[in-house]
Each structure stands twice: as C-alpha cells, then as structure tokens.
Structure 1
Amino acid sequence: MHSAVVTPEDDRIRWVELPGEEPARVYLHGLGSTAPAYFAASAAHPRLAGRRSLLLDFLGHGHSDRPEAFPYTLEAHADTVARALTAAGTGAAEVIAHSMGGAVAIVLAARHPHLVSRLVLVDANLDPLPPTPGTAGSSGIASYTEEEFLARGWAEVRDRVGAHWWSTMRLAGRTGLYRSAVHLAAGTTPTMRELLLELEVPRSFLYPEADGAPAGTAALEAAGVAVVPVPECGHNIMLDNPEGFARAAAEALARD
C-alpha cells in the first residue's frame, strides 16, 4: 500500500502497487468501487502482468481518505489523481479505467496530458445522464438531494444495487459517493465524449458485446478511438469475463 497527500488539507489517495517494468500502468475504478477488488486479477493476468501497476482508489472510495469538504467533481478527482501519480513518479502512464474511472481518466488526459500515454476505457461514461429515481448507479443517486441521500437514500441504494456492488460501495464515504454520482451524471463541459474525441493519445473503448455498439461509435472511430466488443459480460467486463477482458485490454495497449 502506498499513499500521497493530494489536497491542502492533507487528504491522502492510496493505491496498491505491483512491481514491474516501466512505463507504469494505472487502474481506475468506477463509482462506489475500489481498484484492488476490481482489477487485481487483471493486473496479475499473464497477458497484462509484468508492468509496474498502480491500483488506485479515488478520494471518498476504498482505501483513500473521505474528506467531507472535497467537491468530488470529475475535474477534482482528475487533479488529485494527477497529484498522486506525480508523487509516485509514474511519468506518462497507460491508464485502464472502468465506468466513472473512465470519465475521470478522460479529464485527467485532457488536463494533465504529460501523465497519460494511452487510454483503455472500460464501458466508461461519456455523456451526461438525467437523474432517474429508483435506478442504480449515478443517475439514481443523483435523483436525491444531498440531505435526502445522507438521511435515507444511501439505505435505499444499498438495497437496490445488490450484495456484490454494495460490498465495495459500503466502503465509500456517503458524502463522497453522493457528490461523485451527481457530478458523474452531470458530466463535464465540454462533455467527456467531446474531450475524448480531441485527445491525441492512443484510445480504446471496451464495451459488452451484448449491449450493442455504443452511441456515436462512427464518430469515435473516425477520431481514432478503437471501439471493441467483449463477449459474455455485462458492465463489469473484467469481473464477468476475465480472459476476454485481458485479451482485449492487452490488444488495446499494443495499438499504435
């Protein structure tokens, strides 16, 4: 376990680090998740092992601190990740990022391009989502006010998301979880999709084959983003089909 101070209030981001060759590889998790739980098996998979790998938890999540005053915008998450990577001395790293982590990774690459050499986005959020009461994930959480969520909404979300997701979501600070969800649903300006189209590093977008091609695939591919289906999985591609994910990620990392 490693850590770095990333705010003026001395809040720390923490990560599990696996030794290996440079350049470094960084794994970023989704909303209410934690990188070691979601990516440890992938980082150790024969197709991906051997590289220095940082399995990093965002502020408010997993092993990292849970500051109440932190804004938890996508930009704030990206900037604190940048400070952690700078402290870790990763240089330009390969970033593999799932769901909300993918949105943060796009913002990270746009705001701190010297820290990202390529992106592998795993069913990442690219567009704003309207708040939708009664649903799981960011749009459902964003349908509450912060006061409602802290008073009762977190318990309703607990019952809605199921035992597997809650096993890591329960580790998140409730304020951090709520604000992260709200800002993920609201997105960025320009949107994550628009930022992604303008990035110059090699980019790949992995998605569950059963969901069909994501919206805007033609524009993504025209901008040089490889859009890659992975069979036999849902949103948690790396957990549902570890072999398929490792193959697709390794091929994405080898792209010019």
Structure 2
Amino acid sequence: MNSFTIDDRGNVLRYIDLYSGGRAFDPLLFVHGLGCASSSDYPPVVGSDSYSKSRSLLIDLMGAGFSDKPEDGTFTSETQANILSSFVAGEHLTQVNLFGHSAGAFIALKLAKCLPIQVGTLILCAPGVNDYGISMLTEITSMTEAQFADVGFSQLLAQLNAAGGNDAWLGPFSVASPYATYQWARSALDDNAQNWLEDLANLNSIKGVILPDTATSDEIAKFEQAGCAVELVANTEHMMAYDNPDGLALAISNILELGA
C-alpha cells in the first residue's frame, strides 16, 4: 500500500496503485462512498477479466479504510476533494480520470471542478443519495457530532448488523472514523440538496454514469440530459462492487473506452 502525507502533522492518505505499467489510459482515481473504503470495495473489480487494466489508484479517503483518522480532522466533502487535489499535484499527474460511488460522487465532482489539470473522464456510480441513504444520514445528523461519536456510531453499526445483508459493508464501516462519518453525512445531505446535476452537465469532460439495470427511464434520462453515457449493470443494487464486480468492471471499461 502506498502513502501520501497530507499535512505538516504527518497525517497520511493511503492507496493502492495498480497497473501502472499497463494500458495507456490516464490513471483512474477511485473515490468510495460513505462507510466504504476503496481498498476493500474495488480489488475484485480491478482484478476482473472484464477490467481495462488501466492504471488504477484505489484511494481510502481520510477517516476511512487504512488512511489516518485524526479525531480533530475536517472530513467534509469539500475538504476531501481538496486533499485529493493536493494528492494529484503531489504525484505529478498531468491528466486523470475519476470514479465516484454514491456520496463519493459528490467528492469526485468537486474534485473535477477544482483540479488545475484536465479530467479526461468522470465516472459516477449510483451517484447521489437515495431515499434509504437520506433516512440514514438524517438519523446520523439528528444528534451532535460528540453524541454520534460516543454512542450513535456503535448503534448504527448494530442496526446495520441486525438488518442483515450488510456483511461486506460492515467491514470498512466498522473501522471508519465516527467523526469522519458524521461530517461526511452532513456534507452529503447538503450536496444532495444542491443542483449538482447542473454542475455535472457543465463539466467539460467525457462523462459516464453507472446504474443498476432496474433504473427507471426517468433516472436514465436525467443523466443523459446532463451529457452522460449511461451503463447498466445487471443483478445489482446500490453496492455494485459487492453485487456484481465483473459487471461493474465492464461498465467502467466501456466508459473509459469512450476517451481512449
């Protein structure tokens, strides 16, 4: 695993760098969703025979996965995007592609807007916050950050465990920072309430959106109207990397081919 120091206090962002000598696509930065970690979610995707084998940077956001979790850190979506912008500059990348899942799509979109270098392709996977997500994030932010860190976080994990079907998600969620989870939850609700589709439409990059094949025609149409190619993945719900990693790998590869 690779590391990038983000500040003068020695806090470290960690990531996996794969296929750096592979096909000549620009590197694809993976931005995971809330309660997730790229190091946990995406190895089966980028290891699939259906994947393009382009250089892939599986990044654990600050407060998640293997990255550091300072209790006094700032973990808003804007701050996370700024950290990733510093990472891109520090790694001397001259052009990148971006992937963002769920609430991570907001971070990927903010990053695409603030980067001083060209974003070749932006891929959003199940972007935004659905009704289930809004309910969960509203429950998280109904208490103070201190209350959530003290009792709310453990209660949330217990609820997800009791609900069943969340075994894979509970792995990275259980090691996430409660402070990062709380701050990101608040940011995600704010981001979702904004007209982020307009920002997506105005972005001057190749754009693709990946949805489950149960997506409605209206949902597909709103992304097509924003200038996005839409790929549908069978046998999936919101957590596509767990449900059908081969299908997600193919969808990512198909969108990357548009910019090849």
TM-score, normalising length: structure 2: 0.87
SS at match of 1:172: coil
Deviations 1:11-44 (A, max 9, x none): 2111011133342121111111110211011112
SS at match of 1:187: helix
Residue matched to 1:198: 202
Deviation at 1:128, TM superposition (A): 11
Structure 2 unaligned residues grouped into runs of 5+ = 162-166
One-letter identity of the residue aligned with 2:250: R
Residue matched to 1:12: 12
| Partner Cα separation in structure 2 for residue 78 and residue 236 of structure 1 | 22
Residue matched to 2:170: 166
Deviation at 1:76, TM superposition (A): 0.6
Residue matched to 1:124: 127
Distance 1:170 1:214, change over 3 A: farther
In terms of mean alpha carbon deviation, does 199-208 or 46-55 score higher? 46-55
In terms of mean alpha carbon deviation, does 138-147 or 64-73 score higher? 138-147
| Partner Cα separation in structure 1 for residue 225 and residue 52 of structure 2 | 31
Deviation at 1:51, TM superposition (A): 2.0
Residue matched to 1:71: 74
Deviation at 1:192, TM superposition (A): 2.7
Residue matched to 2:164: none
Distance 1:60 1:34, change over 3 A: same
Paired residues in the alignment total 251
One-letter identity of the residue aligned with 2:3: S
Residue matched to 1:139: 138
| Partner Cα separation in structure 1 for residue 65 and residue 111 of structure 2 | 20
Distance 1:239 1:129, change over 3 A: closer
Q: Which of the numbers 185, 197, 209 marks the counterpart of 1:181?
A: 185
One-letter identity of the residue aligned with 1:199: L
**Contact preservation (8 Å) 2:31, 2:101:** yes
TM-score, normalising length: structure 1: 0.88
Distance 1:239 1:8, change over 3 A: same
Deviation at 1:8, TM superposition (A): 4.3
| Partner Cα separation in structure 1 for residue 155 and residue 201 of structure 2 | 37
One-letter identity of the residue aligned with 2:199: L
Q: Which of the numbers 250, 253, 257 marks the counterpart of 1:254?
A: 257
Distance 1:234 1:214, change over 3 A: farther
SS at match of 1:218: helix
| Partner Cα separation in structure 2 for residue 226 and residue 248 of structure 1 | 10
One-letter identity of the residue aligned with 1:92: Q
| Partner Cα separation in structure 1 for residue 131 and residue 95 of structure 2 | 28
Structure 1 unaligned residues grouped into runs of 5+ = none
| Partner Cα separation in structure 1 for residue 9 and residue 83 of structure 2 | 12
Distance 1:214 1:159, change over 3 A: farther
SS at match of 1:25: strand
**Contact preservation (8 Å) 2:45, 2:241:** yes
Deviation at 1:182, TM superposition (A): 1.3
One-letter identity of the residue aligned with 2:205: V
1:44-83 map, 5 Å = 44-83=47-86
**Contact preservation (8 Å) 1:202, 1:255:** yes
SS at match of 1:94: strand
Deviations 1:187-236 (A, max 9, x none): 17954322111101011111112243464x43431231123322110111
RMSD over aligned Cα atoms: 2.4
One-letter identity of the residue aligned with 1:45: S
1:234-245 map, 5 Å = 234-245=237-248
